[in-house]
């Protein structure tokens, strides 16, 4: 099967009132396990590589991206490649060489005006180079001038501001702050479903949920019914992966061949992917 484009996966999902899962790839085994999980579930999937993962690979995006690209092409379900949470233009501008069809440009830590300015510039570049661009708008909230990060508990995206932001920047998908928070290891996040519906009605582009590992299954499914079209998941895979390695090594203190424990890690990750994909699509 040929590499899919994120744009077509999102359009199909939206038309069918489901979502596409986008899973974070850090190592080769992540990409292999994600593709295997999507194939088991018989659903499309997005392999996403974040700027932080690129930093882990010594700042080199090509080796891991080209490997993921090859796996996407060999998969028997549609798979697209997405470059995630990019803050620096240097990496953004490598997206086309590495086979990504979409990128998430993240200026959510900036003020509203700066977020618009930086994102509009990134969107102009992405569109000139045939890429779909996602970006993030979080509510700058809190009392007494305390700014919440876009995904801190309590942060919320304002629907009117979101409509103005999408019109000013020209982005094709919008990551919204609706109750989830990055890197949660317990699934205790509560989503604001009424806000998701308001955002869905306020902006024409697909809505993206980040920090989905902390959201329970029933809330993920309900969030999709309310209007979420792309569901980003990372930590849940790392918990499965690391948990399997930890338990393998606890059982066999003499193990030295990484294939032994990475096989169990990859297989645990595959189970998690297959289960989560089924919840949202």
CA distances from 111 to 104, 204, 211, 229 (A): 18, 23, 21, 26
**Residue 235 binding partner per list ligand G3H, Zn ion, none, with a CB distance cut-off of 5 to 8 Å that depends on partner kind:** ligand G3H
**Residue 32 binding partner per list ligand G3H, Zn ion, none, with a CB distance cut-off of 5 to 8 Å that depends on partner kind:** none
Q: Beta-carbon neighbour count of residue 227 at 10 Å?
A: 23
Give the 3-state DSSP-derived string for 24-55, with helices as H, strands as E and coil as C.
ECCCHHHHHHHHHHHHHHCCCEEEEEEHHHHH
**Strand pairing partners for 135?**
105, 174
Q: What is the DSSP letter of 5?
A: P
Residue 230 within binding range of Zn ion, rule CB under 5 A: no
CB of 232 to Zn ion, least distance (A): 5
Q: How far is CA 248 from the centre of its chain?
A: 29
CB of 105 to Zn ion, least distance (A): 12
Residue closer to ligand G3H by CB (options 24, 80) is 24
Looking at 18, 210, 230, 266, which residue binds Zn ion (CB under 5 A)?
210
Residue closer to Zn ion by CB (options 103, 245) is 103
Report the SS3 class of residue 89: helix
* # of chain residues touching Zn ion (CB under 5 A): 1
CB of 79 to Zn ion, least distance (A): 19
**Residue 233 binding partner per list Zn ion, ligand G3H, none, with a CB distance cut-off of 5 to 8 Å that depends on partner kind:** ligand G3H
> Which of left, alpha, beta for 22 (phi over 0: left; psi -120 to 50: alpha)?
beta
Residue closer to ligand G3H by CB (options 99, 214) is 214
Among the listed residues 58, 84, 97, 106, the single catalytic one is 84
For the chain, strand residue ranges (E) read: 20-24, 45-50, 79-86, 102-105, 132-137, 173-176, 207-209, 228-233
CB of 200 to ligand G3H, least distance (A): 19
**Residue 6 binding partner per list ligand G3H, Zn ion, none, with a CB distance cut-off of 5 to 8 Å that depends on partner kind:** none
Residue closer to ligand G3H by CB (options 22, 36) is 22
Residue closer to Zn ion by CB (options 75, 108) is 108
**Residue 43 binding partner per list ligand G3H, Zn ion, none, with a CB distance cut-off of 5 to 8 Å that depends on partner kind:** none
Is 144 noted as a catalytic residue in this protein? no
Residue closer to Zn ion by CB (options 36, 46) is 46
**Residue 212 binding partner per list Zn ion, ligand G3H, none, with a CB distance cut-off of 5 to 8 Å that depends on partner kind:** ligand G3H
Alpha helix stretches (DSSP H) within 2-147 = 6-15, 28-41, 51-56, 62-74, 89-92, 112-128
User: In the numeric block, which tokens belong to residue 272?
Assistant: 């998690």
CB of 248 to Zn ion, least distance (A): 29
Nearest residue relative to Zn ion (C-beta)? 210
Nearest Cα residue to 262 out of 240, 232, 235, 277 = 240
Site of interaction with ligand G3H (CB under 6 A): 24, 84-85, 182-184, 210-214, 232-236
User: In the numeric block, which tokens belong to residue 178?
Assistant: 């609706």
Positions touching Zn ion (CB under 5 A) are 210
Active-site residues: which are they? 84
């Amino acid at each position: 099967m040929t590499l899919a484009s994120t744009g077509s996966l999102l359009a199909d999902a939206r038309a069918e009132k489901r979502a596409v899962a986008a899973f974070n790839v850090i190592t080769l085994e992540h990409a292999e396990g994600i593709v295997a999980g999507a194939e088991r579930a018989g659903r499309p999937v997005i392999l996403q590589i974040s700027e932080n993962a690129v930093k882990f690979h010594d700042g080199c995006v090509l080796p891991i991206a080209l490997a993921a690209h090859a796996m996407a092409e060999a998969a028997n379900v549609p798979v697209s490649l997405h470059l995630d949470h990019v803050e620096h233009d240097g990496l953004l501008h490598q997206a086309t060489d590495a086979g990504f069809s979409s990128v998430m440009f993240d200026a959510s830590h900036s003020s509203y005006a700066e977020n618009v300015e930086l994102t509009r510039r990134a969107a102009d570049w992405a569109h000139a180079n045939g890429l779909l661009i996602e970006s993030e708008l979080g509510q700058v909230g809190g009392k007494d001038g305390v700014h919440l990060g876009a995904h801190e508990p309590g942060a919320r995206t304002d629907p009117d501001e979101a409509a103005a932001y999408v019109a000013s920047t020209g982005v094709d998908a919008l990551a919204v702050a609706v109750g989830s928070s990055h890197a949660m290891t317990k699934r205790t996040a509560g989503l604001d479903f009424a806000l998701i519906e308001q955002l869905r009605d306020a902006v024409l582009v697909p809505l993206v949920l980040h920090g989905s590992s902390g959201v329970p299954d029933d809330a993920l499914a309900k969030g999709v019914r309310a209007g979420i079209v792309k569901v980003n998941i990372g930590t849940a895979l790392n918990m499965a992966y690391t948990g399997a390695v930890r338990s393998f090594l606890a059982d066999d203190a003499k193990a030295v061949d990484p294939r032994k424990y990475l096989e169990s890690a990859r297989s645990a990750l595959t189970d998690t992917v297959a289960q989560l994909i089924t919840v949202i699509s």
